[in-house]
Structure 1
Amino acid sequence: MTMTFINLPVRDLATAAEFYRALGFTGDQAELDGDSMMLTISDNTRLMLHLHSAFEAYTGVAATDTATSREVIVGLSAQSREQVDELVDRAAVAGGEALGPGMTNGPMYMRGFRDLEGHQWSFLHMAS
């Protein structure tokens, strides 16, 4: 089975982990070293948080300035429209930025937010 690892640079591991735990991500034992941490999103998806210096050493380039550009938008599925709204609302309460009301595009309902570092995320539900 293929696993997905989402790697993001952050300024503070503990603060970032607290934010993502507010969304239901898990991983209390997940600190890999002083510079990186792994949280579980689902059985097959992990979030790897790295201090900026570790991320830049790993990639060989500067981390994207999220105030001026987007490198990627991370989208995760939700089980219902209500769960989409609940998760984005939880992100906003935890200090993130909700990006407006939900959008419907055919059978898909989506709503986005930016995390504490300005990385853009969305939750989406596909109606059957």
Structure 2
Amino acid sequence: MASKIFVNLPVKDLNRSMEFFKGLGFSFNPQFTDDKAGCMVISDSIYAMLLTEDYFRTFTQKEICDAKKATEVLIALDAASKDEIQEMVNKAKSLGGHIYADPQDHGWMYQHSFADLDGHQWEIAYMDESQLPGQE
């Protein structure tokens, strides 16, 4: 079984995208970061590879989706609290990201979302599984 995930995302301006995510508190692994790619560390086993569009094209024969016009993927991450979610979404907006949906509170789960500079959609959720409907 796989023990790590690397989500590859095409970006128009690698340096600008890396600064955006650094502003959100993420770091980059310098071993896998150069002028074509930035390895964003999400956790010990989750990484987002931000690839320049030209470099991304070397991995596929398909057209690259314009994430500002079409949804290619929803990237969902967990958070430790509702406050952590709001802090990240507010930071994303202040760094040039776009809020594309209102927050949703389902009682046991709270989520909010933003699109990064290239339009990739990030959903951040806090779940209190003890409050799941039907749990006793």
TM-score (norm. length: structure 2) = 0.86
Distance in 1 of aligned mates of 2:31 and 2:42:
12
Aligned match of 2:39: 38
| Higher deviation after alignment, 93-102 or 30-39 | 30-39
Report how far residue 30 of structure 1 moved: 5.0
Q: In structure 1, give the amino acid aligned to 2:62.
A: V
Could you say what secondary structure the match of 2:72 adopts? Answer: coil
Comparing both structures, which one devotes a greater share of its residues to strand? 1
**Percentage of identical aligned residues:** 34
Q: In structure 2, give the amino acid aligned to 1:2.
A: S
Report how far residue 4 of structure 1 moved: 1.3
Structure 1 unaligned runs (5+)? Answer: none
| Distance change (3 Å), C-alpha of 1:110 and 1:30 | farther
Could you say what secondary structure the match of 2:40 adopts? Answer: strand
1:20-78 superposed Cα distances (whole Å, 9 cap, x missing partner): 11111102625534211111111111110101111122122121012321010101000
Structure 2 unaligned runs (5+)? Answer: 131-136
Distance in 2 of aligned mates of 1:15 and 1:28:
16
| Distance change (3 Å), C-alpha of 1:62 and 1:86 | same
Aligned CA RMSD, in angstroms, stands at 1.6
Indicate whether 1:69 and 2:61 are aligned.
no
